[in-house]
Amino acid sequence: MMPPPHKPLVYIISAPSGSGKSTLVSELLKMVPDLDFSISYTTRPPRRSEQNGKQYFFVSRAEFQQMTRDDEFLEYAEVFGHLYGTARRFLREAEQKGHDLLLDIDVQGARQVKQRLPDAISIFILPPDRKTLEWRLRKRSEDTEEVIQRRLVTATREIENYDKYNYILVNDQLQDSIQSLQAIVRSERLCRPGRTFSEEESKVLELAESCRLANIRDRVQPILASFAAPAVSGGTQ
Ligand code: 5GP
């Protein structure tokens, strides 16, 4: 008898820009086997360090629109004036390879994927507070002052959606965040029925559990407050 087809676990990661998500995602992919990254399509022009087919597939608006007409996207959205979309084929490929799939998408995309794939596991990465986010955005020196201010406004709006996610990760100390993220991914894999857990696995489950929405609300409140009252943060450090 044929074994049942592999049903990939789909992990969604969202975060305001500047919260350190790219570093976390690349570290996670190095450490976790059989986890594929869904390379999105975008109409945004590539940054100097980016290569077509690595971080993104860079396409024209016309090409992107043709793909939407051909129903090639699991989800798509407009972010900062550019279109971004997740191709369905990554899910099919993960299924064929027996892998799981990681999506790095914004809150609009996350909402669409959750509607289509309710079992998808969503993780929201929060900066420790608004001042730190502002400082990180300035430090990377990629954007003009106007763009930084726009990113901060968008961040405030995105952060309000944190409670639609299954897990919240406060990216304060990079190494701790990487460990927690890895724990979340592993714990969801471990939680398949009929398993008993080793001591090490139980610790992984415990760490992941501490990031569950219901268990982290108290930690999130002061972060939200720092975004609600930006006047007190200000400075450039
Ligand atoms: P950036 O242009 O800085 O790489 O990404 C901007 C935003 O677009 C980020 O929040 C990123 O998560 C989001 N994004 C990247 N790919 C996709 C996608 O395929 N779909 C959606 N909805 N958002 C995406």
Q: Whose CA is nearest to atom 23 of ligand 1?
A: 105
Q: Does the beta carbon of 84 lie inside 6 Å of ligand 1? A: yes
Q: Whose CA is nearest to atom 17 of ligand 1?
A: 105
What is the 205 CA–ligand 1 centroid distance (Å)? Answer: 29
Q: Does the beta carbon of 109 lie inside 6 Å of ligand 1? A: yes
Mutual angle of helices 130-139 and 145-159, in 10-degree steps: 140
Q: For the domain covering 10-37+100-231, report its CATH number.
A: 3.40.50.300
- Output phi, psi for 44, to 5 deg: -70, 140
Q: pLDDT in tens for each of the 237 residues of the chain?
A: 777 778 999 999 999 988 899 999 999 999 999 999 999 999 999 988 899 999 999 999 999 999 999 999 999 999 989 999 999 999 999 999 999 999 999 999 999 999 999 999 999 999 999 999 999 999 877 778 888 898 899 999 999 999 999 999 999 999 999 999 999 999 999 987 778 899 999 999 999 999 999 999 999 999 999 998 755 444 443
Domain boundaries, the chain: 10-37+100-231
Entry pTM: 0.93
Determine the straight-line distance between the first and last CA of the chain, rounded to whole angstroms: 64
- Closest atom of ligand 1 to 80 CA is 6
Alpha-carbon gap, residue 72 to 183, rounded angstroms: 32
Question: Three-state DSSP class for 137?
Answer: helix
